[in-house]
Structure 1
Amino acid sequence: MCRLMGYLGLPVQVDRLLTKPEHSLVVQSYQPREMTAGLLNADGFGIGWYHPQQTVEPFTYKNTLPIWSDVNLASLSRYIESGCVLANVRSATPGQPIDLSNCQPFQRGLILGVHNGYIENFRQTLYRPIRERLSDAAYQSIGGGTDSEHIFALLTDTLDANPTLSLADALHKTLTTLSHLGQQYQTGFSANLVISDGQQLVASRCANRSTTPSLYWLRDDPLFPQAVLIASEPLFAGNWIACPEHSLLTVSHDLDIQSHPI
């Protein structure tokens, strides 16, 4: 299991999100509180962010080192300022290589995505069925071998095939496809995702068998006024609200929050 975080609101220095909170992703990488599998998130990390003034493709920074070992992160995260940030610390599935192509967030065009979860026995179960459903462009966009990136490819392919579809509807459609495949191939999965296009956040808390991984959101905290945070575990003491199991959470550009069952 990984740990993830999403932020939408007033532009802030990224270190306020990544390293300064008392239970930041750095701390969650070596001392998570609510992981349902694994002990550490030491198999790399990544952050993605959008330019605060320009509509351009998002930027990413990734490393295969544990997040606590990256000597560049402190300086980099003090320098970057953004109003939309996604981040992930990775706990690799046994057998999956630790390389940059398997580090999140994944990016295609304006879309960024992070995933916490798994597909059970992915290479033996849904690897080929997912790939067979992808267009050539989506298929060729996959650079690594993780279940997470294949779920992201399903999502972006859904958006490409349905240009008028909202990000929330595309994620719902992706999870429906994943659920049908899981049932067909009798495979368990969990899919906590946070997706963004720079103007909104869409998140899911979803699983078909095991305990659903934790996911929380927080709005307009005194530390982050006019902002929404989504995280696998609360980053600091505050009025964090647990997302219901099997739900979809949407955060619009004006920070309106809606929760819907999946």
Structure 2
Amino acid sequence: MCRLLGYLGSAIQLDNLLYKPDHSLIAQSYQPREMTAGLLNADGFGVGWYHPQKDENPYVYKNILPIWSDVNLPHLSRYVESSCVLAYVRSATPPLAVDLSNCQPFTHENLLFIHNGFIHNFRQTLYRPIRNLLDDYAYQLITGTTDSEHIFALVISELRKSPNLSLEKALINALTQLTQLAKSHHVYFSANIIISNGKQLVASRYSNRAPTPTLYWLQDDLLYPDAVIIASEPLFEGNWKNCRERTVISVSHQLTSQIPTIKIFEI
């Protein structure tokens, strides 16, 4: 299991998300409180952010080192400011390799994608069935070996079928397809996901049977006003809400309010 973090709101220095909270993503890498599998998240990490004044496509920094071992990240995170951030620490599912091609966030054009969960015995079960659902374009985007990247390819394939499809609907469609495949192959999977296009966060807390990994959200906190944070574990004491199982959450800015609004979809 991995740990996820998503932020949408006023521009903020990355270190205010990664380092300063009491139970920051750094702390969750070596002392997670709510993981259902594994003890550490030491198999790499990644941070993705948007700077829309320069480019609509995201910027990413990844490393296969544990996040606490990267000597450059503290300096980078004090320099970079963004209003939309995704971050992730990895606990690799055996026997998947620890290399950069398997390290998240995954990107495509203006999209960032992170995933906590797994498909049981992925290589022996849903590896080929998922690939059979992809169009040629999405198929060729896959460079690593993880179930996570294959799920992202499913989302991309859904978006390509209908250019006007919303991000939340594309994710719901991908999860529905996964559920059907898992049922026919008698496989357990879990898919806590955060995906963004720089203007919106869409997140899922989902599995086809219990237990479902934890996911929380927080809106307009005193420490982080005009913002929504989504995380695998609360970063600090506050009015965190538990995401309901089998739901997709959509967070976006409205023209009438500085505070991002939240919509919840049942799957």
TM-score class, shorter-chain normalisation, is over 0.9
Three-state SS of the structure 1 residue aligned to 2:118 is strand
| Residue 260 of structure 1: aligned partner | 265
Q: State whether residues 56 and 110 of structure 2, in contact with CA within 8 Å, keep that contact through their aligned partners in structure 1.
A: yes
| 1:43 counterpart SS class | coil
- Paired with 1:150 and 1:2, the residues of 2 have a C-alpha distance of 17
2:25 matches 1:25: yes
Whether contact under 8 Å (1:193, 1:204) holds in the other structure is yes
Query: Residues 1-262 of structure 1 correspond to what in structure 2 (within 5 A)?
Result: 1-254=1-254, 255-262=260-267
Equivalent position SS for 1:225: coil
Separation of aligned partners in 2, 1:138 and 1:260: 26
Measure the CA separation in 1 of the matches of 2:188 and 2:179: 9
Percent of pairs with identical residues: 63
Structure 1 contact 216–234 (Cα < 8 Å) conserved? yes
Contact preservation (8 Å) 1:52, 1:82: no
Amino acid at match of 2:178: L
Q: Which residue identity does 2:263 align to in structure 1?
A: Q
Preserved CA contact (<8 Å) 2:4 2:88: yes
1:120 is matched by which residue type in structure 2? Answer: H
The ranges of structure 1 where at least 4 consecutive aligned residues each deviate by more than 3 angstroms after the TM superposition are none
Q: Deviations over 1:62-99 (max 9, x none)?
A: 00000000000000001110000001000000111100
Q: Deviations over 1:29-79 (max 9, x none)?
A: 000000010010000000000004345210100000000000000000011
Q: CA deviation at 1:261?
A: 1.2
Alpha-carbon distance between aligned partners in 1 of 2:210 and 2:65, rounded to the nearest angstrom: 29
Quote how far apart the aligned CAs of 1:210 are. Answer: 3.0
Q: Which moved more, 1:46-55 or 1:76-85?
A: 46-55
Uncovered stretches (5+) of structure 2, i.e. residues with no partner: 255-259
Q: SS of the counterpart of 1:36?
A: coil
* Kept after mapping to 2: 8 A contact 1:201/1:251: yes
RMSD: 0.8
* Residue 151 (structure 1) shift: 0.3
TM-aligned CA deviation for residue 136 of structure 1: 1.4
Cα distance in 2 between the residues matched to 1:224 and 1:54:
24
Q: Distance in 1 between matches of 2:219 and 2:184?
A: 39
Structure 2 length as normaliser, TM-score?
0.97
